Chain A
Amino acid sequence: MSDANLADVQADRSKMQISDTDVAIEISGMNKWYGDFHVLRDINLKVMRGERIVICGPSGSGKSTMIRCINRLEEHQKGRIVVDGIELTSDLKKIDEIRREVGMCFQHFNLFPHLTILENCTLAPIWVRKMPKKQAEEIAMHYLERVKIPEQANKYPGQLSGGQQQRVAIARSLCMNPKVMLFDEPTSALDPEMIKEVLDVMIGLAEEGMTMLCVTHEMGFARKVANRVIFMDQGQIVEQNEPEPFFTNPQHERTQLFLSQILNH
């Protein structure tokens, strides 16, 4: 579907180094219920530093819930999640510590509408990292240039297009210098012509070796960037594989069904 969007971008896989000893995230035996509804069933996932993982699956399959558990926007009831060597418990200090190291981009951007773009980016470094304002602004401008919108720094989010807002959201996360980035359907709320500008930024990030977990339906992106694709259905990890075999030769019948539905239209 979006292969056309990405036709002129060639991700450079040779730069994407994956560590084979350094574990970024380890999820083992994680279960979660909403009331009586078992949304996540026995999730096991080990993410090495530098890995780019794309998570796909039908809606309601628990993929968003799973990555939201990693920075505790959702609470899991059973199992272990260890992020960057810190285990997630109900200890608020640990939660904040993990959130400082894990960046997140949302489907609806969630920029702060009462602050300018620059203030959106400097807020967390100033208040969470206790960085001097001037230094925070320099870093913010650096990342705004990275996402190619430094000229919008003094505007408000409401004045920007969706694609620009999502790029600001990415820059805002990067300003915290995170070790892991989580993307929760970052392009689902965007018009087709804006998807590319966001994906370009994400590809750039991957090339720099950022550890990324992306919930997305952009299969072109998955092919180009991911080193692992995970398919979830009904709260379980049904299949995971490298992108080439995943797309050309899916094993599980539900994966086959899902891929045939999204690729053939």
Chain B
Amino acid sequence: MSDNSVAFVATSDKPQLPAPQGTTGAVGWVRQNLFSSSLNTVLTLLSIFVVFSVVPGIVDWAFVKSVWNANSLDECRQISDGACWAVVRERYNQFLFGFYPTELYWRPILAFVLLFVALVPALWDNMPGRGKALIFSMAYPFVAFYLIWGGFGGLEYVSSSQLGGLLLTMIIGVAGISFSLPIGIILALSRSSNLPIVKSLAVIFIEFIRGVPLITLLFVAHVLLNYFLPKGVNFDIVLRVVIMVTLFASAYMAEVIRGGLAALPKGQYEAADALGLGYWQSMRLIILPQALKISIPGIVNTFIGLFKDTTLVLIIGLMDPLGLVAPTLGDQRWNGIVVELYAFIAFMFFIFCFAMSRYSMYLERKLHTGHR
């Protein structure tokens, strides 16, 4: 065959060869991801340097040199200059439960355990017997309310002023999260609807709530609500805070979900219509499952934001974990211990926020059913 001939017919299949060395496996990964260019190499080396110069110090402070047994900050400092976790050891009950009566700790603990029992069917969609388990999930808010506050049926009454710490964070966070999603969905559907009155009500609500800082709403809940409510009607401060936090989060939620609704191709709405599905059917079966899936990152973002915003209640005098820092510092023995307390609180929040973030990633992977 001459070199400049155009006609060509393959006479045999070319063999499949292994990939060149160093492009696959661990070596290949390192080359591609850590040393692919000179800039990348510099950044990699810089990162390694930072990690090596920071991490040993932190490990040293937090674990190696840390003190767990001491009665005061001075005692700690005499033993070593590491973290003084003794304060956490002494006061972790307070950070978890606030001033909840010690002999009744089993009630919030049981409520916490039951929270997971209630969450399983809600989060795990092919659980055997899910239908029945979901009934418990629906009833959970009432069960938890009864367990935590009590007051009838044999359980001693515990007043809201005794609630605090992580318990308070969980109450506000879980209630806010579980109510803001459905309210947000309804607001988003209203705002995208063709009915002018429904639409403008949703717009006014969302724009008003989003335009006001959460702290303002909490002050309203704390102080102003008393003026608006008829004399003698006075509902619980924690309940008021939960309502405000829920309304605040649901306004943001509505906008996140509206983004998901807008991202769906018009064809999905048309196909649902053309099959004769009614409005609620097409929303429930076609539109929302897809819109919510698209919105998962934004929804979880709002959840995490809400969970962390619960710390703002310290401004109106509720004893959430951050609110408990001041009384601890007020104790002569622990005066001056700051980093350890905040590190501990940060760690508690991180666990919950990280868990939510991981779950959302799992959910996104699971719901991914291919393109289009």
Contacts and interface: CB of A to CB of B under 8 A. Distances in A.
B369 A158 contact: yes
A114 interface: yes
| Main secondary structure on B side of the interface with A | helix
Interface in A44-98: 71-73, 96
Contact of B369 (A99, A114, A123): A114
B193 interface: no
A114 B285 CA distance: 10
A113 B276 contact: no
B261 to A, nearest CB: 14
A173 B276 CA distance: 11
B277 A128 contact: yes
Interface stretch (B25-33, B136-144, B209-217, B267-275): B267-275
Contact of B290 (A99, A114, A124, A127): A114
Nearest to A119: B285
Given A108-B265, A112-B268, A114-B367, A73 B285 contact: no
Contact of A156 (B274, B278, B293, B369): B369
A128 B276 contact: yes
A104 B274 contact: yes
A228 interface: no
A112 B270 contact: no
Contacts of A106: 267, 270-271, 274
B275 A114 contact: no
B153 interface: no
Contacts of B289: 114
B372 interface: yes
B370 A157 contact: yes
Interface string A220-238: 0000000000000000000
A188 interface: no
A73 B270 contact: yes
Interface in A163-195: 172-173, 176
B159 to A, nearest CB: 47
Contact of B275 (A113, A156, A172): A172
B293 A127 contact: no
Interface in B272-297: 272-278, 281, 285-286, 289-290, 293
Contact of B371 (A72, A73, A127, A158): A158
B296 to A, nearest CB: 13
Given A104-B274, A127-B281, A172-B275, A110 B370 contact: no
Interface residues of B, number: 23
Interface in B231-271: 265, 267-268, 270-271
A112 B273 contact: no
A99 B275 contact: yes
B193 to A, nearest CB: 14
Contacts of A72: 273
Contacts of B278: 96
A124 B372 contact: no
A95 to B, nearest CB: 9
A113 B286 CA distance: 9
A217 interface: no
Contacts of B272: 112
B276 A110 contact: no
Nearest to B278: A96
A159 interface: yes
Interface in B286-310: 286, 289-290, 293
Contact of A113 (B270, B277, B281, B372): B372
Given A110-B268, A114-B293, A114-B367, A99 B286 contact: no
A71 B270 CA distance: 10
B372 A157 contact: yes
Given A110-B267, A112-B286, A73 B274 contact: yes
Interface in B191-246: none
Given A108-B265, A110-B268, A124 B275 contact: yes
Interface of B: 265, 267-268, 270-278, 281, 285-286, 289-290, 293, 367, 369-372
Closest 3 CB pairs between A and B? A158-B370, A110-B271, A110-B267
Given A71-B274, A106-B274, A173-B274, 7 more contacts: A73-B274, A99-B273, A99-B276, A114-B290, A114-B293, A114-B367, A123-B285
12 contacts: A71-B274, A73-B273, A99-B276, A100-B276, A110-B267, A110-B270, A114-B290, A114-B369, A124-B277, A127-B285, A128-B281, A158-B369
